[in-house]
Amino acid sequence: MQTNKFKTRQEFRRNMDTPKGKKFVIGLDVGYSAVKCFYEKGYFCFPSYVRKLDSDLFIYGDHDILYRDLETGNQYIVGRTAMEMIDSNETNITESEMFSRNRYRSKNFKILCNLAIAFALDCKSDEREIVVQTGLPSAYEKADTPAIKKAVMKPAHFQVRIGMGEWKEYNFSVEEKNIFVMPQPSGSLYSALIRQDGTYIPDAKRILFSNTLVMDIGFGTFDYFGIKKQKAVCKESIDDVGMKQVLKETSTRIMNTLHEEIRVPALQSALGTGIIICTDMDEMKSEEKPLAPFLEDANNKVFRDAIESAYNITGGFVDYNFILVTGGTGEAWLDKIKDYFSGLKTVKVMTGNENDHLPMIYSNARGYYMYRYMLCGNVK
């Protein structure tokens, strides 16, 4: 097993052939593990980690993302470097702070939103209105929409620096009327149905008018969005069956076998190397152990639990013609899911990246963009 495939990525891609609309549309997906964004000039992803810098004793790398709040003067490092700064015994960055629904009201969540919008705005050179389309887990959409809208619309004044480059200042706000929220799995559904030129695929009507189930398996939640006879019949979000649970189970197995405590946030570094460092402080010895056996065993266990949960929630997948798989964990489990449904000849398994072949972590963000682009009256 290649453990690095499970690690949260950081990348920035430009110059895509994406249609440009009358308004400047941003598809924003601020996940528990990573921020994903899709806009008219490209797409990007960076880990949803923010760490306040309390000292000037820091050596910056070429790709470090630094954020300076111009109201308080506080500086933060964001993304991959912040993630890699977490050690195995970290206690001041708690799971409740990073992985709970309360995060929408936190300073760190606002920083993540500000950065994503700023990076997209770097290519904007006109006076078009900014429109943000985002999403929430299916079951929480109604309850959490006010909180996420408040985070996005709050005026932002800050500076950003990449590595040792120059500080760049941003000062913007997004009007509440231009912030839209949908169930997250809907983003992937629209991404699978809308081509890169902003037009629907030929089978779009057949898929929408059939019985279709979207299974959006991310870091923190497993979201279901079921359509039967053009009506939403299933909008559920299940916690503790995504990649976070895989890492928690991995951490438990490491502790039980090697007596080494590595918290979920700190496991990201081990995913990159595939190695666990075990230290015996009494003997003053350390040795390397492979991570893969623990990760693979945990991954298989959580997948079995997840698919059993999906079976029960959907009534055994009765009457569904299309199963659309999406999300980062969905991509990691795709072969397992296809194998699970292989005996059902009346069911077709689709993926959220049918139209773009990007990693499926981007499917929701791309769908947000394409859907809002079309609603803004921009179809050519």
Q: What is the pLDDT of residues 231-289, one digit of tens each?
A: 888 888 888 889 999 999 999 999 999 988 888 888 888 998 999 988 877 778 888 99
* pLDDT attached to residue 34: 95
**3 state DSSP class of 277:** strand
Mean pLDDT of all residues in 177-193: 95
Q: How confident is the model at residue 379 (pLDDT cuts 50, 70, 90)?
A: very low
Q: What is the pLDDT of residue 250?
A: 96
Angle at 30 between CA 25 and CA 32, to 5 degrees: 165
Please name the helix (run of DSSP H) or strand (run of DSSP E) that holds residue 195, with its range, or none: none
Mean pLDDT of the chain: 90
| Cα gap 143→98, rounded to integer Å | 19
CA–CA gap between residue 182 and residue 149 (Å, rounded):
12
Q: Residue 89: what pLDDT?
A: 58
The arithmetic mean of pLDDT across residues 12-32, rounded, is 89
Residues 336, 341, 342, 343, Cα dihedral to 10° = 140
Q: What average pLDDT does range 54-70 have in this prediction? A: 84
What is the pTM assigned to this prediction? 0.92
**Tell me: domain 3-242+300-375, CATH 3.30.420.40, correct?**
yes
Domains of the chain, residue spans:
3-242+300-375
What confidence category does residue 93 fall into, taking pLDDT thresholds of 50, 70 and 90? low
Q: What are 127-171's pLDDT values in tens digits?
A: 999 999 999 988 889 999 999 999 999 999 999 999 889 999 999
Q: What number is the average pLDDT over the span 313-329?
A: 93
User: What's the token pair of residue 131?
Assistant: 């429109």
Look up residue 229 and give its two tokens: 């006879």
Query: What is residue 285's predicted lDDT score, i.e. its pLDDT?
Result: 84
Q: How confident is the model at residue 211 (pLDDT cuts 50, 70, 90)?
A: very high
pLDDT, position 97: 60
List all residues 6 or more positions away from 38 whose beta carbon is below 8 Å from its beta carbon. Answer: 18, 26, 27, 362, 365, 366, 368, 369
